[in-house]
Amino acid sequence: MTETVALESTLTAEDFWYLCARREGRLALVEGKVVETTRVGPIHGRVDFQFANLLGPYLAANPVGDVFLNTGFILRRNPDMVRGPDQAFIRADRIAANPPPEEGFWEMVPDLAVEIVSPRDTACEVQAKVQDYLESGVRLVWVTYPARRQIYVHRPDALIQVLDVRGELEGGDVLPGFRLPLAELWKQ
């Protein structure tokens, strides 16, 4: 569940970075307003770890880019929007053209955003994140529902694809050749 923190004015991404450095918890900046979410639980953390472990061998064999965990990205300016997907993939050529900053948020739109839904996340909150990602130029969004063992695949201008434990997740043109039988993700 998220809660909007009331502030007198809208913040820039740089103001938000300073605020985040001094606060505990998970925060996002949406239309210049700070949105606070609860810490994730152990199932969320395990699925996040599994995703990283399953993407790692693919990226080692296919150095097409890098995965970033819980990284804040400036998706747009005026008013500023900072989102931090659980995982994000960015192509190597885009990283070379716009390297990550040593501190602060990265003014970069990921190619892939992975969101892992926690029990307190509402459908409206999840949909708002997906919409923000797609409108900002993210080419592929994987929304993972651990309790249902499902992944919703979102692409711009495409129907939502729903995969369950019997399905196979594909990277398409974002992660060429990446294929993940979802039974692997849900292993205990």
**Average confidence (pLDDT) over 36-64:** 83
In a domain, 34, yes or no: no
pLDDT of residue 1: 42
More confident residue, 1 or 184: 184
Separation between Cα atoms, residue 178 and residue 62, nearest integer Å: 9
Predicted TM-score of the model (pTM): 0.82
In a domain, 124, yes or no: yes
Q: Name the residue range of residue 156's domain.
A: 40-185
pLDDT of residue 164: 94
CATH number at residue 111: 3.90.1570.10
**Integer Rg of the chain from CA:** 16
In a domain, 15, yes or no: no
pLDDT of residue 42: 74
Contact 131, 31 (CB under 8 A): no
What tens digit of pLDDT does each residue of 76-105 get? 998 888 888 999 999 999 999 999 998 888
Q: What string of H, E and C letters represents the secondary structure of 77-88? A: CCCCEEECCCEE
Tally of structural domains, the chain: 1
In a domain, 47, yes or no: yes
What tens digit of pLDDT does each residue of 117-155 get? 988 888 988 999 999 999 999 999 999 999 899 999 999
**Average confidence (pLDDT) over 100-117:** 93
Separation between Cα atoms, residue 6 and residue 165, nearest integer Å: 41
